[in-house]
Amino acid sequence: MSSDTHISDEELTSDLNGELVNARAAVVAAHLRNCWQCRGRRRQLEDAATEFLRLQRESFDPLIGPPTGPEARLKAALSDLHLPNGSLLRSRRLVTVAALSMAAIGFVIFAALRLAERPAMAAALPNSRLTPGATRLIEREQVCAIDLSMDVREIPVEIALQVFQEYGIRKPRPRAYEVDYLITPALGGADDIRNLWPQPYTGVWTAQIKDALEDHLRTLVCSGQLDLATAQEEIATNWITAYRKYFRTQRPLPAHALFLKDRPWE
């Protein structure tokens, strides 16, 4: 398997479950040692499985109850009763079983939605090892005195290509990405490659959505409602979590999908 041929999600899942034959498992292990992208995807799948099991323990298992608990004893007592068809107790038992089944189905749907969302979020966030964020030594008053219309920054082509190379993108499609500052210069972000990453224009959590967050955080900072260091830390740690917090929504607002202030890669 060459370094250019990545492992499929299905095979990564089989590897996690120990379902690969020895020869194939060895090939996959060798590839993972040399491919950080596949290692990252495998880690995301493992995290998703861990989250699923946690949700199951917290949300589903309590509905069923232990096999020797009061629910089990009640079901056993009901099953010992020889009740005619259509009786009240039999109907109640059927309703109880149906309710538990509906709860189980609801949990599975909830968990599936959570699991489906994780890859989309992960794709919209930078690799924290490559892009931890970097700031300038600047005070809030200096940040707020910047005329944004005059502070237009363009990433040099050689730096942009280096960013793409670090992220394993050899031939970026025109207008598919924005080489973006994790901490925007409008919030004191530095012109440093550790503060840059190729943010996609596709998906749910796009560059346009982050642009809207950046402007909103700057407004909060300059109005004295938010500390500059806090804004920098939150956008660098997980900008999607910050967006949800400050806009009080779990999904991007429709108006922000058209928000565009930076130039795409061409």
Q: Report which of residues 231 and 119 the model is more confident about.
A: 231
Position 15 pLDDT exceeds 60: yes
Q: Could you tell me the two tokens for 129?
A: 């090892």
Position 162 pLDDT exceeds 60: yes
Q: How is 247-262 classified by DSSP, letter by letter?
A: HT-SS--GGGGG---S
**pTM above 0.95?**
no
Predicted local confidence at residue 83, as pLDDT: 46
Q: Could you tell me the two tokens for 184?
A: 């925007």
Q: How far is CA 145 from the centre of its chain?
A: 34
Asked if 231 and 221 touch (Cβ cutoff 8 Å), the reply is: yes
For the ranges 16-25, 118-127, 155-164, the lowest mean pLDDT is seen at: 118-127
Asked if 176 and 123 touch (Cβ cutoff 8 Å), the reply is: no
pLDDT confidence tier of residue 114, bands split at 50, 70 and 90 = very low
pLDDT digits (tens, 9 = 90+) for 192-248: 999 999 988 788 888 889 999 999 999 999 999 999 999 999 999 999 999 999 999
Asked if 208 and 201 touch (Cβ cutoff 8 Å), the reply is: yes
Q: Report which of residues 109 and 263 the model is more confident about.
A: 263
The C-alpha atoms of residue 98 and residue 243 are separated, in whole angstroms, by: 39
Q: Report which of residues 51 and 110 the model is more confident about.
A: 51
For the ranges 47-56, 59-68, 191-200, 207-216, the lowest mean pLDDT is seen at: 59-68
Question: pLDDT exceeding 90 applies to what percent of the chain?
Answer: 32
